[in-house]
Amino acid sequence: MRARANILEQIRHLEAKVRLIARQNNVVRRLMSVPGVGVITALGFAATVDDPTRFKRSSSAGA
């Protein structure tokens, strides 16, 4: 039970860190305003695209 409680505490700590990072990034916050897009998805997309100016069209970024 102690191990499970420790794991849950670590998860809460990591989630708080991820949410803090997301709150500090305007692009991520804008992405999260889309229905169904959460913190992890927005951070992942922003990290993958990195520099959106390298794509001439939005369709070039892929699905």
Residue boundaries of the structural domains of the chain: 2-61
Residues in the chain: 63
pTM: 0.73
pLDDT band at 63 (very low <50, low <70, confident <90, very high): low
CB 29 within 8 A of CB 22: yes
Q: How far apart are CA 6 and CA 10, in angstroms?
A: 6
Residue pLDDT, tens place only, 2-47:
999 999 999 999 999 999 999 999 999 999 999 999 999 999 999 9
CA pair distance 14, 21, nearest whole angstrom: 11
Q: What is the pLDDT of residue 52?
A: 80
Query: Angle at Cα 9 formed by Cα 4 and Cα 14, nearest 5°?
Result: 125
In the chain, count H helices and then E strands. Answer: 3, 0
